[in-house]
Chain A
Amino acid sequence: MGFLEPLQIFFMSIVGLVANPVNILILFGSVIMGIIFGATPGLTATLGVALLTTLTYGMDVSTAMVALMGIYVGGVYGGSYTAVLVNIPGTAASAATALDGYPLARKGQAGRALGLTTTASAIGTVIGMVFVVMLSPVISALALEFTSFEFFLLALFGIVISGTLTSQDLVYKGWIAGLIGLFLATIGRDSLQFFPRYTFGMSELEGGLDLVPVLIGAFGIPQIMQTIRDNFKISETSEFKKILPEWKTIGKNIPTILRSSLIGVGIGAVPGIGEDIAGWVSYGTAKKASKHPEEFGKGAVEAVIATETANNSCIGGAMIPLLNLGIPGSPPAAMLLGAFMLHGIQPGPMLNIDRPTFVLEITAILLLASIAMWVSGIFLSKQVVKVLKVPTSLFMPIIAVLCVIGSYALGMRVFNLYLMLPIGILAYFLSEMKYPIAPLIIGVILGDMCDQNLRRALMVSQGSFMPVFQRPVSLVLILVIAILIAGQIPAFQRFQVRVKEGVVSLFKKKEKSADNA
């Protein structure tokens, strides 16, 4: 493909989607649904994507993707509503937004704050989309050079890094969650010798665990249990007359937007990390770079823009490894992977060969979703906020039913429900004990990739691990994994500190000698 051909496909995709009024209706409907899911504490973009996946079963691929990307984009942005209006982030992705969004609302600038979050989110999504277009061909071409060892190490890296970065307590709790996920992935007949592993003689387990019920169980059930347990209620929301796009303020903060977008895309591209970490990292970086860091936490416009740009640009970032390597960059992207598979799309290096226009179609949908999100955010926010008045004790049981029917409908197996609930209860207790759930899910998703590629690689090398050290990509991956693991060993940490001190003192000596000279 030349330069013009992708552009042509991109615009043709947009025209094709916009030409169909049903697509526009579905796009706006799913974006608004996403905003509601994002804005309602206890519901998340991940759960939204999971539940909508069931409803897209009968749709054609393009329409299904419009619906799923719409709810994803809306869901990540929607969290900012409650973050700004009631100081309760609707999703973890908007936790950092609450720090300055709510003080702005308290100053009587709720409309302005929401205008900023809306516009920043839309810009973030578009920038993320640009990165998907730019990086996909490069990563895809690189991935085609990968051998089984690289794929095995890539999967292992995904599990280790998501475990390392998402753990709120001890880092190895994240790794334990990842290993539990890997174990769940080994259930069923293995794909090379068809030997039944951990099936207990049950024919229902021979095909392995269906991904969607596991995801709904792990993300949906704990949230329902936690929300009902805490008897969560939204108090009075801050009043606002209308939402203003605030172009002038956005224009003043272009460096912040660009920096936050890069952070969002970068963090999104790391497997299993997600939008919440992007928001926090962006917030911290914006504070460090700001000329007035003392204003942060008191209603700094810069902070609101930074967090919302980052968490929405993270969507594009998460799509990069998902589309090109088959490795989800965030929990909602993990759910999207299940949806892709349901519609017969196998993400990975072969995607650009099997479906050369698919990535461009997805980016076109992302652009449309960001426009729909902006329009909905500016014009329909007042109506969306009304939904927040529905008591969670009425709302959550309905979500529970949707989780159940969603898990059942995709495989049409009641057995999926028998699995979903124990996994959900396990996930609830794990999250209560500060075990992150994202690595568990990444483990389930990448388990088969790990197993197949490790054995295939060793089959080719006759049981030798030497090729790992002879290929640059696998060598880099194994070194990164080793450093991540060793980084948790106290002796290694002390060694790192000593090295750092040594390097610093060496520089200081050089500076002194230069000054003396």
Chain B
Amino acid sequence: MEEKKLRQYDFITAVGLILFSVWELSQALKMPMKESYGGVQSEWYVSPALLPMIIGGGLMLLGAILLVNAIRTGGAASFIEAVKNSGKIKVTEPTRRVVTVVFAFVSFIYLMIPNVDFFLSISLFLFYISTSFYPERDDFRKKMTLQFIIGMGVLLILITTGLDDVLKGILSYNVDILALLFLIYLNIYSRIQARKMDIARKTIRQVTLISLIVPLILCPLFRYFLLVPLPVEGGIIKLMNLVYYAVR
């Protein structure tokens, strides 16, 4: 990162740090200092607030030093300038790539893992993130991301409205079935788009293989070898259980 931008970020960070330390200290002041807690007469030096106060004080002091340095080195001025020209800011390609990765992670961790069969969660995550970056085509990545956003949106609506519980009465593993259908749809969609964009067929084939083989190795490894119950054991994991206990 260039010096000017670094100092600009230092300015923002310093303000954030000072605000954070104020909050941290205010929370620490709510902790027992001299009064009795849990039958124990507290003194300032055994108070649970002691270390938080030191941390808060330290962060405030260092935040202030950082702020002074940022102002002195032109960080504040360049920040004000950046705010004025905020309309002209262009989102760079690396930033878009980072956002894509974060979005994939957020969907995977907060949406899929708690609600969808673990095998399918891994498979969907791997398929989306690999097809986004492996072909090295930004237009292809954008198309895949749009489809993934729609898919995740549907999943979010199902879960937040409680529709999935209603559907469960009609059909078991409804979310898993939807996720599986979505995975198949993504696969077909990516192949069609790849053909249109002259992306080698092999690319999508490799991604498909990886997105199936990796969970096929990891899920049994953790479930049967390390005896770790998986977050959501839906349709696919239940099927694995049937096979495993029948063979064993």
Residues on A facing B (Cβ under 8 Å): 54-55, 57-58, 169-170, 172-173, 175-176, 179-180, 182-183, 186, 190, 192-195, 197-198, 221, 224-225, 228-231, 391, 393-394, 397-398, 400-402, 404-405, 408-409, 412, 414, 417-418, 420-421, 424-425, 428, 432-434, 447, 450-451, 454-455, 458-459, 462-463
Contacts and interface: CB of A to CB of B under 8 A. Distances in A.
B101 A224 contact: yes
**3 A-B pairs with the lowest CB-CB distances in the bound complex, closest first:** A458-B45, A393-B133, A190-B48
A183 B9 contact: no
Nearest to B127: A397
B102 A57 contact: no
Interface stretch (B34-42, B150-158, B181-189, B233-241): B34-42
A408 B37 contact: no
Interface stretch (B51-59, B81-89, B170-178): B51-59
Given A176-B17, A404-B109, A434 B1 contact: yes
Contacts of A451: 50-51
Contacts, number: 163
B169 interface: no
Contacts of A193: 32, 37-38, 40, 42, 46, 48
Contact of A394 (B55, B105, B207): B207
A463 B58 contact: no
Contacts of A454: 50-51
Best-buried of A198, A398, A454 by chain B (most CB within 10 Å) = A398
B44 A433 contact: no
Best-buried of A221, A393, A394, A397 by chain B (most CB within 10 Å) = A397
A398 B66 contact: no
B222 A409 contact: yes
A433 B3 CA distance: 10
Contacts of A57: 226, 228
Given A408-B228, A455-B46, 10 more contacts: A176-B17, A176-B62, A186-B52, A195-B31, A195-B32, A397-B210, A404-B109, A405-B122, A405-B218, A418-B109
B206 A394 contact: yes
Contacts of A175: 58, 62
B245 interface: no
Contacts of B31: 195, 197
Nearest to B221: A55
Interface of B: 1, 6, 9-10, 13, 17, 24, 27, 31-32, 37-38, 40, 42-48, 50-52, 55, 58-59, 62-63, 65-66, 69, 94, 97-98, 101-102, 105-106, 108-110, 113-114, 122, 125-126, 129-130, 133-134, 136, 206-207, 210, 214-215, 218, 222, 225-229, 231
B214 A401 contact: yes
Given A404-B108, A409-B226, A412-B228, A179 B129 contact: no
Contact of B98 (A229, A412, A450): A229
A193 B32 CA distance: 10
A13 B106 CA distance: 46
A432 B63 CA distance: 18
Contacts of B231: 408, 414
B110 to A, nearest CB: 7
B64 to A, nearest CB: 11
A454 B51 CA distance: 8
B119 to A, nearest CB: 11
A296 B207 CA distance: 44
A432 B13 CA distance: 12
Contact of A179 (B55, B69, B207): B55
Contact of B105 (A58, A400, A402): A400
A183 B52 contact: yes
A427 to B, nearest CB: 13
B214 A228 contact: no
Contacts of A391: 134
A338 B211 CA distance: 30
Contacts of A221: 105
A404 to B, nearest CB: 7
Contact of B66 (A176, A225, A393): A176
A416 to B, nearest CB: 10
B43 A197 contact: no
